[in-house]
Amino acid sequence: MKEEEVLNLAKKFEFNAYEAFPLKDEASGREYWRISSETESKILCYLNPSKGNHGDFIKISESLLANNVDAVKVFHHDEKMGVTIQEDLGDEDLIKIFNDDNKDSLIKKSLDLLVTIQQSNIEKISKFSIEELRNQMNLFKASFCKDFLNIDPDKSLDGLIDSVCSNIQNQSWKNCHFDFERRNLILNKHGTISVIDYQDMRIGPIGIDLSGILVDHYYPYEENNVKEYLCYYADISGTKDISYLFEALKWGCIQRNLRILGTLTDLYVSQNRKFRLKDLPLILENTIAISSDENFITDFFEEILHALKLKMSSL
| Closest CA relative to residue 117, chosen from 36, 53, 210 | 210
Residues 46 and 124 in one domain: no
- Do 138 and 25 fall into the same domain? no
Long-range contacts of 31-40 (CB under 8 A, 24+ apart): 31/1, 33/1, 33/6, 34/88, 35/6, 35/7, 35/10, 35/85, 40/88
Are residues 46 and 112 located together in one domain of the fold? Answer: no
* 70 and 145 housed in the same domain: no
Residues 77 and 122 in one domain: no
105 and 73, same structural domain? no
8 vs 25, 235, 256, CA distance in Å?
Answer: 21, 50, 38
The type of residue at 246 is: F
Cα atoms found within 13 Å of the Cα of residue 295, Cβ hemisphere only = 0
182 and 213 belong to one structural domain: yes
Say whether 289 sits in a helix, a strand or coil. Answer: helix
- Here the CATH number for the domain that contains residue 228 is 3.90.1200.10
Q: What is the pLDDT of residue 240?
A: 83
Of 87, 116, 143, the position where a domain reaches its end is 87
The total of structural domains in the chain comes to 2
Supply the pLDDT for residue 292: 84
- Residue 19: CATH number of its domain: 3.30.200.20
Q: Tell me, yes or no, whether 176 and 200 share the same domain.
A: yes
**Beta-bridge partner residues of 74:** 86
Q: Give the amino acid at 255.
A: Q
Give which of 282, 280, 207, 198 is closest to 237, Cα–Cα: 207
Last residue of a domain, one of 63, 87, 111: 87
Task: Based on the fold, state whether residues 149 and 236 are members of the same structural domain.
Answer: yes
Q: Indicate the SS3 state at residue 26.
A: coil
DSSP 28: T
Do 174 and 299 fall within a single domain?
A: yes
At CB < 8 A and 24+ separation, what contacts does 273-279 make? 274/315, 275/25, 275/27, 276/27, 277/312, 277/315, 278/312, 279/217, 279/218
Domain range spanning residue 21? 3-87
Whether residue 147 sits in one domain with residue 116: yes
pLDDT the model gives residue 297:
67
Identify any residues that bridge with 21 across adjacent strands, giving them in sequence order.
Answer: 34
Residue 51, number of CB atoms within 10 A of its CB: 10
Q: What is the mean pLDDT of the chain?
A: 95
- Determine the pLDDT at residue 144: 98
Shared-domain flag, residues 241 and 106: yes
Q: Are the C-beta atoms of residues 200 and 233 closer than 8 Å to each other?
A: no
Q: State whether residue 27 is helix, strand or coil.
A: coil
Q: Which residue stretches of the chain have pLDDT < 70?
A: 295-298
Q: Last residue of some domain: 87, 105, 138?
A: 87
